[in-house]
Structure 1
Amino acid sequence: MRKANRAAAVWRTYQDVSKPGTPGVLTRVRAIPRLIKSVMRGDYAGMGKGKLALMAMGLVYLISPIDAVPDFLVLIGVVDDFGVLLWLVASMLGESGRYVDWERKVIPGSTTPPV
């Protein structure tokens, strides 16, 4: 993903999280485990298993000692990790926000998600 695309994705995520009436950051973060379970069970069709797998690969890439661009190439090696991190955070916050909205529609009148 190009730098401009990553910055745009982060900006869109910030705008989405800060809109009045949308789930806040903590609500979105707390929803991530439920989102993963719902996607794996097939209950939530808003996100496919393929995208979930891609996000898992991004997480593995971040924690793995093996890098596409080695970190000893100081600036370049860190930039690729940072780009993956930005994409992962923006994607998870966006998806979990949509998931919380979906949960609220599935349980009419509920402001708190199911346990």
Structure 2
Amino acid sequence: MRKSNRAAAGAAAWRAVQHSARPGAPGLGERAAALPRMLMSRLRGRYDGFSVSRLLMYGLAIVYVASPIDLVPELFVPVLGLADDVGVTVWLATALMGESERFLEWERREGRVQGHVVG
């Protein structure tokens, strides 16, 4: 993907993230910091808030956006070529926002802070 297309996809994802914020919900920084903990907790079997197939979907989305190979190449159909990248990026950003919020709620319910049990 060209640099300008990545920037456009990133800007669209940022707008989606900003519009999905609710009062009292964890901030973007807190959610981003929770992603590695969420992944490790899932891989270790401690957190079962999302399936392995969903984890694979996230991985495929990251590979698709980062890959220079597109389903709809920008060279032939510029608008549609950009739209598929933006669509996948926005879906990934909003899905991870929701997953990380659920994970942070799970951590609070379980009494976990930064991957350690409080007690």
Identify whether the pair has TM-score above 0.5, normalized to the shorter chain. Answer: yes
Residue type of the partner of 1:77?
A: G
Give the distance between the partners of 1:48 and 1:55, measured in 2 at CA: 11
Percent identity between matched residues is: 34
Give the distance between the partners of 2:38 and 2:115, measured in 1 at CA: 12
Match in the other structure for 2:7: none
User: Which of residues 30, 46, 49 in structure 1 aligns to 2:49?
Assistant: 46
Residue type of the partner of 1:75?
A: V
Do the aligned residues in 2 keep the contact of 1:58 with 1:88 (CA within 8 Å)?
Answer: yes
**Shift in Å, 1:76:** 0.7
Query: CA RMSD for the aligned pairs?
Result: 1.8
Give the distance between the partners of 2:73 and 2:43, measured in 1 at CA: 33
Which structure has more RCO (C-alpha within 8 Å, separation ≥ 6)? 2
Name the TM-score, length of structure 1 as normaliser. 0.78
Do the aligned residues in 1 keep the contact of 2:37 with 2:114 (CA within 8 Å)?
Answer: no
Match in the other structure for 2:3: none
Number of aligned positions between the proteins = 100
1:87-106 to 2 correspondence within 5 Å? Answer: 87-106=91-110
SS of residue paired to 2:72: coil
User: Which of residues 55, 72, 84 in structure 2 aligns to 1:80?
Assistant: 84
Give the distance between the partners of 1:94 and 1:106, measured in 2 at CA: 18
CA deviations over 1:69-90 (Å, ceiling 9, x no partner): 0011211100000000000000
Do the aligned residues in 1 keep the contact of 2:74 with 2:81 (CA within 8 Å)?
Answer: yes
**Shift in Å, 1:41:** 1.4
User: Which of residues 31, 50, 60 in structure 2 aligns to 1:28?
Assistant: 31
Residue type of the partner of 1:40?
A: L
**Shift in Å, 1:19:** 2.5
- Unmatched tracts of structure 1, length 5 or more: 1-9
- Unmatched tracts of structure 2, length 5 or more: 1-15
**Shift in Å, 1:39:** 1.2
**Shift in Å, 1:42:** 1.4
Residue type of the partner of 1:45?
A: D
Match in the other structure for 2:19: 14
